[in-house]
């Protein structure tokens, strides 16, 4: 193994130890190292990184993303060798803007769950219907939900344990009785179909194995189409991850309507969602008309009392 490839492995290992999953960098950085070695370089240069990032037929935004990945590795290398060049941040402007998430209404979620009747297999339909319902009432990440094991759902205590959270942190989520009952119905259906489990997973595929994220997202796109959920002009299509955004915003709206101390409760929402700090939760709080109206009404009452 070359010194450059060894440095690449060590960089990825270090970042992953800090909690970063680095799926794309893990695939792309070895390719960058191979490119550098093919042109006889033992360190990163701006021109070589730019040449690697600007592959033919790549979209400009993708080129900028590739260069950003190279930039992080270059900073690490420069601290080691003192000669690697760190490409400037404005060399390939990405032109990216944050697209607003789709905020699902209760009717949207009901339509998605109803659309599962179009799935040819009753068991597969039940799997996706229960999964969507769980995401809607807990705000879990899709990866956390499909990583649940059977023992992670405590039907007696009425809670579930998320063990595959971001940064590796586990957390417990209380379940409403209706959610516990829906999970219990799915458990009975699953156990009848697979009396001898092939997997410890709570949600299983038609083959009895743990669900794959890519397959779940593909099924969700079909359900979204059957439910008639489309993107507004200029927005991206509704995603399964947007259910998490919807949960966060709906929670705030409920707190405002209950005249609760939102600022004091926000750390609880942050912990519930599995965020390290409330700052990370702000990303999910889309300014909807309902939320803005409630916040403005709260502010007006405060000003009237002062």
Choosing from 35, 166, 210, 226, the catalytic residue is: 166
Name the active-site residue from 71, 128, 141, 239: 141
275 catalytic, yes or no? Answer: yes
Q: Is 241 annotated in the active site?
A: yes
Catalytic: 141?
A: yes
Has 102 been annotated as catalytic?
A: no
Strand 159-162 relative to strand 153-154, pairing:
antiparallel
Only one residue has tokens 């060798």, namely 81
Task: Please list, in sequence order, all residues whose beta carbon lies within 8 angstroms of the beta carbon of residue 107, skipping any fewer than 6 positions away.
Answer: none
| DSSP for residue 15 | H
| d(C-alpha 208, C-alpha 224), whole Å | 25
Residues 6+ apart with CB under 8 A from 204: 127, 190, 194, 197, 198, 210, 211
Angle at 215 between CA 213 and CA 218, to 5 degrees: 110
Sheet with 159-162, side-by-side order of all strands = 153-154, 159-162, 171-174
- Catalytically active residues, by annotation: 141, 166, 241, 244, 275, 284
């Amino acid at each position: 193994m070359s010194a450059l490839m060894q440095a690449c492995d060590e960089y990825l290992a270090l970042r992953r130890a800090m909690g970063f999953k680095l799926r794309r960098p893990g695939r792309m950085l070895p390719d960058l190292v191979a490119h550098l070695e093919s042109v006889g370089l033992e360190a990163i240069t701006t021109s070589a990184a730019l040449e690697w990032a600007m592959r033919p037929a790549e979209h400009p935004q993708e080129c900028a993303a590739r260069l950003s990945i190279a930039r992080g590795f270059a900073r690490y290398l420069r601290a080691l060798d003192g000669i690697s060049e760190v490409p400037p941040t404005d060399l390939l402007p990405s032109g990216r803007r944050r697209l607003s998430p789709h905020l699902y209404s209760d009717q949207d979620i009901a339509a998605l769950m109803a659309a599962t009747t179009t799935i040819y297999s009753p068991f597969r339909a039940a799997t996706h219907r229960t999964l969507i319902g769980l995401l809607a009432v807990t705000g879990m990440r899709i990866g956390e939900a499909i990583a649940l094991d059977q023992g992670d759902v405590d039907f007696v205590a009425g809670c579930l344990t998320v063990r595959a959270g971001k940064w590796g942190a586990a957390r417990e989520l209380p379940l409403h009785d209706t959610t516990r009952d829906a999970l219990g119905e799915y458990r009975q259906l699953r156990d009848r179909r697979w009396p001898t489990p092939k997997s410890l997973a709570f949600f299983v595929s038609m083959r009895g194995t743990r669900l794959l994220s890519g397959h779940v997202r593909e099924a969700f796109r079909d359900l979204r189409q059957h439910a008639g959920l489309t993107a507004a002009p200029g927005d991206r299509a509704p995603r399964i991850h947007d259910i998490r955004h919807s949960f966060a915003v709906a929670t705030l709206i409920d707190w405002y309507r209950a005249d609760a101390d939102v600022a004091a409760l926000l750390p609880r929402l942050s912990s519930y969602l599995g965020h390290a700090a409330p700052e990370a939760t702000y990303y999910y709080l889309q300014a909807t008309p309902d939320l803005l109206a409630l916040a403005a009404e709260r502010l007006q009452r405060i000003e009237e009392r002062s």
